Amino acid sequence: MPAKLAANRYGKSKVRLMRVTKHEDHHDLDEWTVQILLSGDFETAHTLGDNSKILPTDTMKNTVYSLARDSKATSMEDYAKELVDFLLGRNPQVTEAEVVIESTLWKRLTVDGKPFPTAFMRGSDEVQTTTVSRAQGAGFEIISGLDNLTVLKSANSGFVGYIKDELTTLPETTDRIFATALKATWEYTADAIAAGIDFDKVRGHLRETMIAAFAKHDSLSVQQTLYAMAEAALEHTDIIDEVYMRMPNKHCLLVNLAPFGQRNPNHIFVPTDEPHGTIEATIRRA
Amino acid sequence: MPAKLAANRYGKSKVRLMRVTKHEDHHDLDEWTVQILLSGDFETAHTLGDNSKILPTDTMKNTVYSLARDSKATSMEDYAKELVDFLLGRNPQVTEAEVVIESTLWKRLTVDGKPFPTAFMRGSDEVQTTTVSRAQGAGFEIISGLDNLTVLKSANSGFVGYIKDELTTLPETTDRIFATALKATWEYTADAIAAGIDFDKVRGHLRETMIAAFAKHDSLSVQQTLYAMAEAALEHTDIIDEVYMRMPNKHCLLVNLAPFGQRNPNHIFVPTDEPHGTIEATIRRA
Amino acid sequence: MPAKLAANRYGKSKVRLMRVTKHEDHHDLDEWTVQILLSGDFETAHTLGDNSKILPTDTMKNTVYSLARDSKATSMEDYAKELVDFLLGRNPQVTEAEVVIESTLWKRLTVDGKPFPTAFMRGSDEVQTTTVSRAQGAGFEIISGLDNLTVLKSANSGFVGYIKDELTTLPETTDRIFATALKATWEYTADAIAAGIDFDKVRGHLRETMIAAFAKHDSLSVQQTLYAMAEAALEHTDIIDEVYMRMPNKHCLLVNLAPFGQRNPNHIFVPTDEPHGTIEATIRRA
Amino acid sequence: MPAKLAANRYGKSKVRLMRVTKHEDHHDLDEWTVQILLSGDFETAHTLGDNSKILPTDTMKNTVYSLARDSKATSMEDYAKELVDFLLGRNPQVTEAEVVIESTLWKRLTVDGKPFPTAFMRGSDEVQTTTVSRAQGAGFEIISGLDNLTVLKSANSGFVGYIKDELTTLPETTDRIFATALKATWEYTADAIAAGIDFDKVRGHLRETMIAAFAKHDSLSVQQTLYAMAEAALEHTDIIDEVYMRMPNKHCLLVNLAPFGQRNPNHIFVPTDEPHGTIEATIRRA
C-alpha cells in the first residue's frame, strides 16, 4: 500500500531503580524511574517484521541496572549521560537516544532529634526530572526540571480588571487563595554542559529561587507570578537561557455561608481538582 | 530584567459536561471532558499584571455549558468547532483557540433482552478524543482519535531475530501474549473538513478497522502490527493522510513453574504494569 | 512490657494471575488478582522474631501460580476453595485461611461481525469478587459479589419530602439523574455450598436481576432503589439469604444557566466525584 | 416480599474543607476531608420511599462548612465531636452518628532561611485520621491514627528460619530493605476522653515514637517490628489501651546481575508495588 513510515521511536518506560549507597557511617538512597527512547533506522522492522536492528526493550531494562551498578554518577543527569553514550556507542543503527529520569523524594528520618543513618521517609509527590538526549556525533541536550510541586499562598493574591461580558459570573477579588502544582523545566546551555555542571546544586538553587519568588510575589494573576518566578530563575544563573513553566490554577472556592446567616471572611474554602485553570509559558533571556 | 515572554497560552481544563438528550421514547447520554486553550496578545498580563485582555478561565467554563445548551451538534468535533469560533469571534486579542474533548464511554443497559430507553452503564476506560484548533482567519485543524483502548491477543504473536549481546536475557519466542493500550490519532484533510464530515461514523469505522487489523495480524513485533493497523486505517478512507499510534507493550510474563516440577505451555502468566515497552510511530500516505 | 497480641493475620496481596485456556478452536482468558490471608499461632513470630511457623508470603505467591496450573476450576470460587484447602492442609499452625479474588473484565473481540477466537478487549472497571474462607475442621464461607458497577438512570428518579431546616439548600425534585457505582455482596448458604453451586451462572443471573431492578425502579430515594435491588436478588434465588449493598450517590448537578438567560430543562449537567452521598445496607430474608 | 432491612447507614463522603486561620503575623492552614455516617430509624425510607426522617446528605455537607466557620476547635478530633453532637442533638431519629476525618499534610514554606507567614507546600501522601462516633445518650468513641506513612530502612532487617517446602524459592537473608506504608490506629480510653485530651500533641508523640521504633529495631520479620512499634506506642502513654497496625511489605527486589558478570552487594534494587506482603495485628495492653 502507498504508506510510509514517518517519525518513530521505541524504548522502555517505567524502569524503576533503587540505589543504596553505603558509606562508613550512613547510607544514601536514590529512587529513579527511567525511560529510554531510541530513534533510528527501523523502517524494515515496521514494514517487514525484520528485527535484526532492534535492541530489545528488555535489554534496555537490563542496561539500566547493569550501568547503575558500575556508575560513579551521583546526579541523575550524569547517570543519564552515561546511559545515552553507552546506547549510542553500541548501536550504530540508532541516530538519537533519549533518557528521561524522574526522581522520587525520600528524606532521612529524624530520630531523637538526630538524622538516622539508615532509615528514610517518602516525601511529597513532587518529582525531580531530567531529559538527556544526544544524536550520533552531536552534543548533549539536557533539560532538567521538577513537576508536581504543590504550593499555596493565602495572602498577596488577587484577580481584577479582566474582561467582563454576559457570560461572566466570577467576582473580582483582591484576596484569594492561590494554589498550584508547578511544573518547570530549564535547558542548560551548550557552553555550560561543555564546562561541566554540578546538576544537583544548580537544581536545588533554582527550586529555592522559584519557591521564594512564589511566596513573596504580590500577585495580580497566575500569569504574572509565573513570569516573576521564571525571571528569578533566569536571574539566578546564566547557565540556563530559557524556562518553561506550567501552573494549573487549583481553585480553592470560598464557601457561600450567607444562606446560613454567616459571614465568611476568607476563612472556609472548598479545595477542588476540577475544573482547573491551566497557564503555561516559556520565558527566555532577552 | 532582560527576559522576554516566548510561547504562552492559558485556558480551562477538566470542564466536565454531561448532556441528556430527550427523545420521545428514549434518552441519549454524552459525557465529555473539555479543555480550552487560548494563545494571543498576553504580554502585559505576564509582565505587568494587566488583565484587560484576559478572558477569565471561569468564563470559559460558563461558555462550555451555555453553548452546549443551545448547540445542535451531535458529534464532539462539531461542538468543538462551535466553541472555537465563538471564542475567536468575541476575542480579537486571541490569535488561536484550541478545544480538546475526551468522551467517556456509556452504553445503554439491556434489560429483559431489550435496550432500556433511559438507563446506562459505564464502559471501559477507553476515551474518544478530538483536538480542534483554528487561528484567526485560517481554517480548522481537526485531529481526532482514541486513547487507552486495551486489547490483547493470545495467538499469532512472536518476537525473534533481534540483536543479542552480553546484556540480553530475553528468550526468543514464536508464541507470546501481545497486550497493549492503544492511543491513535488521525488528522482530517483540509478538503474533507471543507466538504463536511460525519465524524462519529468515520470514527467508528476507523476504530473497527484498526481492531480487526490487530486481531488478524500475524505479528513479528509490536512495530510491525502497529504499522499494519495504521496502514489499514489509511486504506479505509482518504479523508485522513496520517495516523499517529502509540502502543505500549504491556508485558504478560510466563510464570516459571520449573522449580515446582511443572511445565507451563503458555497457560499461566503474570500481567505487569511496569516496566513496559513503548512503541510509537507516525504513518503517512505515500 | 505488659502488652499482648490480639487479632492478627498476614498474607500476600495483589498476586496477579492471567490464565489462557486453549481450546481446539478458541482461547478463553481469565485475569484474577488474588489475596491470601492466614490467621493462626503466630505469637512468637511477633514477640520473639521466631519464624519457624511462618509460611513466607513469597511461597503463597508461588502457590497461587502452581495451583492455577493444575486446577480444573473454571470459576474463581472453585479455584479459591482449592487454594484455601491446600493451605489449611499443609499448615496445621494456621487456624483459618481466607482467599479474596477480584476478576477483571475482558471481552472477546468482534471482527467482521463474528467473535474472534484469540483476541480480547478490556471491559469496564467493574470487578467480580469472591471471599472464600475456612477454619480448620469447619465448612467454607463464601461471599461473592461485584464492585464498581457504574450505572445511571436519566428518568424515574426523584427526591422529595425530606427534612428541611435552616441548613437546607437542596431543592426538591421529581426528575433527577441517579448515578452510582454499585458494590454488592451475597453469602451463599451452607446448604447450597454443600449441594454444589454453579458460581458463574448464579453470579450472572444475580447481576442481571439487580441491574434490571435498578433500571425499572420508580425511585423515591437511593435507599428505596437499593432495597428494591436487594429484594429482587433475594427473590431470584434461595441459595443466598442476605445481600449487602453500597451505592454512592454520584451527583450530576444541573447547571444553572439562568444568569445567561437560558432555561435548563434537565439537559446539561456537571458530573462530580466529590462530595458524594454514601448509602449502604444489608437486606436479609425475613 | 419476605425481606427485611438489617444494618444500614448513610451519609456524605469526601466533603473537602480548607480552613485558613489568620493570626496577626501569620496564617495557619488545615485541609480536612470529612465523612458523616448516620444510623437510625430509616426502615420506611427503604421500604416505602418515605423521606420524612431523612436529613439530606446535601444538608450534611452544608453543616460541615457552617460548623467549621464558627468552631473554635484546633484539632480535628475536637471539631468532629462538635459535628457529632450537632447531628445527634437535632435528629432524634438518628441512633448513632460517626464522623471520619482525614487531614492532608501542608508545611509552611521556608524562604531565605525563615518560615514564611502565608505560604505553604504539600507534604507527603501520609494522612492523619480520626473516627469519632457516639450513640444517643452514650459517650464518645474516638479512634485516631495515621495512614500511608511510607518508611524504609536499609539496614538491620533480615528474614530467616521460616518454613521451607517444595514451593519455596525465597532465599534467606540477614540484610534486606524493609519498606512499608504504615497504617496505625489507636483508641482513646473513656477515662482519658472524660478528662480531656490534647489530641494534636498526643498524635505527634505517638507518631514519633513509632517511627523511632521502626528505625532502631533489629528486625527479624515485619511481624516483629510491627509488634515493637505498637509496644512502644502503648508504653508511651496510658490514655490508649490498644493499637492496630497494618504494614504491607513493599518489596524492593535485589537485581540479579550475575548474568552480566557483576556482583550486587545490596546496592541496586527494583522497588515494586505488586504483589506485596500484608501484615496486620492488634496489640493490647495486658
C-alpha dihedral sign at B57, B63, B65, B68: negative
Decide if D260 touches B, using CB distance below 8 A. Answer: yes
Decide if A58 touches B, using CB distance below 8 A. Answer: yes
Q: What is the ipTM of this complex?
A: 0.96
pLDDT at position D1, please?
58
* Cβ-nearest to C151 among B17, B119, B270: B119
**Fold agreement (C10-139, C149-284):** yes
Q: Taking all residues of chain D, what is their mean pLDDT, rounded to a whole number?
A: 97
pLDDT, tens digit, for every residue of C146-167? 999 999 999 999 999 999 999 9
CA–CA min distance A189, chain D (Å): 27
Question: Does A284 contact B3 at a Cβ distance shorter than 8 Å?
Answer: yes
DSSP characters over chain A = --EEEEEEEEEEEEEEEEEEEE-SS-EEEEEEEEEEEEEES-HHHHHH---TTPPPHHHHHHHHHHHHHH----SHHHHHHHHHHHHHHH-TTEEEEEEEEEEEEEEEEEETTEEEEEEEEEEEEEEEEEEEEEETTS-EEEEEEEEEEEEEESSSB-B-S----TT--PPPBSS--EEEEEEEEEEE-HHHHHH---HHHHHHHHHHHHHHHHHH--BS-HHHHHHHHHHHHHHH-TTEEEEEEE--B--EEEP--GGGT---SS-EEEE--SSEEEEEEEEEE-
Instruction: State the cell numbers at C20.
Output: 489462557
Are the C-beta atoms of residues A271 and A252 closer than 8 Å to each other?
A: yes
Neighboring chains of C (3 or more beta-carbon pairs < 8 A): A, B, D
Instruction: For residue C2, name the pLDDT band (cuts at 50, 70, 90).
Output: confident
Q: Can you tell me the mean pLDDT for D30-59?
A: 97
Decide if B167 touches D, using CB distance below 8 A. Answer: yes
Q: Tell me if residue A251 is catalytic.
A: yes
Q: Taking all residues of chain C, what is their mean pLDDT, rounded to a whole number?
A: 97
pLDDT, tens digit, for every residue of C185-232? 999 999 999 999 999 999 999 999 999 999 999 999 999 999 999 999
pLDDT at position B2, please?
78
Decide if D72 touches A, using CB distance below 8 A. Answer: no
Decide if B167 touches A, using CB distance below 8 A. Answer: yes
Question: Does B124 contact C123 at a Cβ distance shorter than 8 Å?
Answer: yes
Q: Can you tell me the mean pLDDT for C39-43?
A: 95
The residues in A 177-206 lying below 8 A from B, measured between CB atoms, are: none
Q: Domain D149-284, what architecture? A: Roll (3.10)
Chain B residue with CA closest to D262: the answer is B167
Q: Taking all residues of chain A, what is their mean pLDDT, rounded to a whole number?
A: 97
The catalytic residue positions of C are 12, 57, 251
pLDDT for residue A209 is more than 90: yes
- Site of grid cell 480510653: D189
pLDDT at position A129, please?
98
pLDDT for residue C1 is more than 80: no
* Cβ-nearest to B285 among A3, A161, A234: A3
Are the C-beta atoms of residues B99 and C204 closer than 8 Å to each other?
A: no
Decide if B10 touches C, using CB distance below 8 A. Answer: no
Angstrom distance (rounded) from CA C150 to CA C171: 25
pLDDT at position A68, please?
98
Instruction: For residue A92, name the pLDDT band (cuts at 50, 70, 90).
Output: very high
**Paired residues of B3 in beta bridges:** A285
CA–CA min distance B272, chain D (Å): 9
Going from N- to C-terminal start, the domains of chain B cover 10-139, 149-284
pLDDT at position D116, please?
98
- Set of chain C residues whose Cβ sits within 8 Å of the Cβ of A260: 166-167
Q: Tell me if residue D57 is catalytic.
A: yes
Chain A residue with CA closest to B164: the answer is A55
Q: Which residues of chain B have pLDDT under 50?
A: none
Q: Can you tell me the mean pLDDT for D137-165?
A: 98
Interface size between A and D, measured as CB pairs under 8 A: 179
Instruction: For residue D119, name the pLDDT band (cuts at 50, 70, 90).
Output: very high
pLDDT, tens digit, for every residue of A230-274? 999 999 999 999 999 999 999 999 999 999 999 999 999 999 999
pLDDT at position B145, please?
98
pLDDT at position A144, please?
98
Indicate the pTM of the whole model. 0.97
Q: Cβ of C238: how many Cβ atoms within 10 Å?
A: 11
pLDDT at position A194, please?
96
Amino acid (one-letter) located at B121: M
Domain C10-139: CATH superfamily is Urate Oxidase; (3.10.270.10)
Interface test with A, best of C255, C256, C260 (most A CBs within 10 A): C260
* Cβ-nearest to B260 among D167, D260, D261: D167
pLDDT at position D2, please?
77
pLDDT at position A2, please?
78
CA–CA min distance B137, chain A (Å): 22
* Cβ-nearest to B150 among C16, C122, C212: C122
pLDDT for residue C43 is more than 80: yes
Are the C-beta atoms of residues B101 and B76 closer than 8 Å to each other?
A: yes
Chain D residue with CA closest to C218: the answer is D49
Decide if B224 touches C, using CB distance below 8 A. Answer: no
* Cβ-nearest to B284 among A6, A35, A55: A6
pLDDT, tens digit, for every residue of A114-151? 999 999 999 999 999 999 999 999 999 999 999 999 99
Angstrom distance (rounded) from CA B120 to CA B106: 6
